[in-house]
Amino acid sequence: MSDIENGLCYLCGKEGADSRDHVPPKAVLPKDYRSEGEDLITVPAHQRCNRDWKDDDEYFQTQIALAAFTAGDAGKALHSKVMRGLDREEATGLREHIDSGITGTTVLSPDGTVDHNYIQVKPDWQRLLDVIARTGRGIYYHETKNIIPLNVSEKPVVAEPDKIIPIFKSNTDHIRSFAGSSFKYISVMGEEEPHRCGYLFNFFDRLFFSVVFHDEEGSWRAV
Ligand SMILES: [Zn+2]
């Protein structure tokens, strides 16, 4: 724990930050692929502001891990760690929440016998997007040492792979990559629209999000 830059909490913007928070949540970056310092972004926060997010972070990690299963060794490492964690007694609530998003469908052959079963996982996207919005605020703070005021509205969305993969492919100079490419992002600063900035997030080349911060009143300037 080094400096707590100017004592402002990146979540509420008030003084007296007494801890540091990881953005994105540390748990999505597989341990064997990350190095302390280089791969972990931390920003000052109040413990009380930070603690509110613990369950959401765990849910986020689990959903990323489910998607990362086919994403090379780093993805498999995260997936198997998370699956082991779900067996814990304390994880019952989380497990049930995830199960509630899984639906099974049986496809029958013309003769009425079972052809195949498939399952579909439907995450609680809003819960994931809350983590994405917070990650955006944290990265902005990390890059600029400024806080995005709470009255600046945020718009986190799930990005379609077809649209976002080409952006990552054609902007390789602007990608910041962490923990063996487990997490990558691109900043989109609003040079033409100074009251707007945003980020594109890429987790394991499997799940993509964007978040835009926009000040309608124009009193805030992205730096
Ligand atoms: Zn705070």
The model's confidence at residue 59, banded by pLDDT at 50, 70 and 90, is very high
Contact call for residues 117 and 104 (beta carbons, < 8 A): yes
Report pLDDT for 51: 82
Q: Is the pLDDT of residue 92 over 90?
A: no
| CA of 12 relative to ligand 1 center, distance in Å | 4
Distance of CA 73 to the CA centre of its chain: 20
Q: Is the pLDDT of residue 137 over 80?
A: yes
Polymer length of the chain: 223
Q: How far apart are CA 104 and CA 120, in angstroms?
A: 6
Question: Please, what is the Cα angle at 97 between 94 and 98, to 5 degrees?
Answer: 90
Q: Is the pLDDT of residue 3 over 60?
A: no
| CA of 10 relative to ligand 1 center, distance in Å | 7
Structure pTM? 0.87
How far separated are the first and last CA of the chain, in Å rounded? Answer: 26
| CA of 47 relative to ligand 1 center, distance in Å | 7
Q: How far apart are CA 118 and CA 120, in angstroms?
A: 7
Question: Higher model confidence: residue 8 or residue 109?
Answer: 8
| CA of 89 relative to ligand 1 center, distance in Å | 31
The model's confidence at residue 112, banded by pLDDT at 50, 70 and 90, is confident
Question: Higher model confidence: residue 105 or residue 96?
Answer: 96
From residue 130, give the alpha-carbon distance in Å to each of 56, 75, 145: 8, 23, 21
| CA of 214 relative to ligand 1 center, distance in Å | 21
Cis peptide before 110 (omega within 30 of 0): no
Report pLDDT for 2: 43
Q: pLDDT for 142-176, tens place per residue?
A: 999 999 999 999 999 999 999 999 999 999 999 99
| CA of 147 relative to ligand 1 center, distance in Å | 11
Question: Please, what is the Cα angle at 139 between 39 and 124, to 5 degrees?
Answer: 95
Burial level of 190, CB count in 10 A (0-12/13-18/19+)? middle
Report pLDDT for 77: 94
| CA of 22 relative to ligand 1 center, distance in Å | 14
Q: Is the pLDDT of residue 103 over 90?
A: no
90-101 mean pLDDT: 81
Report pLDDT for 7: 84
Report pLDDT for 1: 40
Report pLDDT for 53: 87
| CA of 9 relative to ligand 1 center, distance in Å | 5
| CA of 130 relative to ligand 1 center, distance in Å | 16
| CA of 16 relative to ligand 1 center, distance in Å | 8
| CA of 49 relative to ligand 1 center, distance in Å | 5
Q: Is the pLDDT of residue 15 over 50?
A: yes
| CA of 6 relative to ligand 1 center, distance in Å | 13
Q: Specify the DSSP class assigned to residue 23.
A: S
Distance of CA 37 to the CA centre of its chain: 19
- Where do the DSSP E strands lie in the chain? 19-22, 42-45, 102-108, 114-121, 153-158, 176-178, 183-189, 196-203, 207-214
| CA of 7 relative to ligand 1 center, distance in Å | 10
57-71 mean pLDDT: 91
| CA of 11 relative to ligand 1 center, distance in Å | 5
Sign of the CA dihedral 187, 190, 195, 196?
A: negative
| CA of 211 relative to ligand 1 center, distance in Å | 21
| CA of 59 relative to ligand 1 center, distance in Å | 22
Q: Is the pLDDT of residue 44 over 90?
A: yes
